[in-house]
Amino acid sequence: MTAHATTTTISVEEYFCMLEKSDVKLEYRAGKVVTMAGAQPPHNIIAMNFAGELFACLKKVGCQIIGSDQLVKIEACKRYTFPDLVIVCQKAIYEKARNGLDALENPEVIIEIASE
């Protein structure tokens, strides 16, 4: 769920400057910055239950499940996002950020729990 989006286009560098100063999660969508709203308990329960079910299967094949605090870069969409869950089955590759919030570049699966 989004709360606010910028109306002007900004660069990735400007996004990372905003993100560094922000006390809320911000996503970058092809030049637009979107403020992410906090999740409600049902949303969090679904995400954690889903992660628990996936973990049992995926750990056997060497995959990792990463939660919603991981910034993910989706190059093809010119997007930086904080998805609910991410699955990585190979060696994770990160784009280094000057603020220390490195963005995962090679997720296998991105999971977003839809909510009102």
> pLDDT per residue over 28-78, tens digit each?
999 999 998 888 899 999 999 999 999 989 989 999 999 999 999 999 999
Q: Would you state the structure tokens that stand for residue 22, as one six-digit string?
A: 């922000």
Residue with tokens 């930086």: 80
- Class (C level, CATH) for 2-111: alpha beta
CA distance 39 to 31: 24
pLDDT digits (tens, 9 = 90+) for 67-110: 999 999 999 999 999 999 999 999 999 999 777 789 999 999 99
* pLDDT above 50 for 6: yes
**80 C-beta neighbours (distance < 10 Å), count:** 23
Structural domain spans, the chain: 2-111
Nearest residue to 103 via CA among 4, 26, 9: 26
Q: What angle do CA 44, 49, 50 make, to 5 degrees?
A: 100
Q: Are 86 and 93 in contact (CB under 8 A)?
A: no
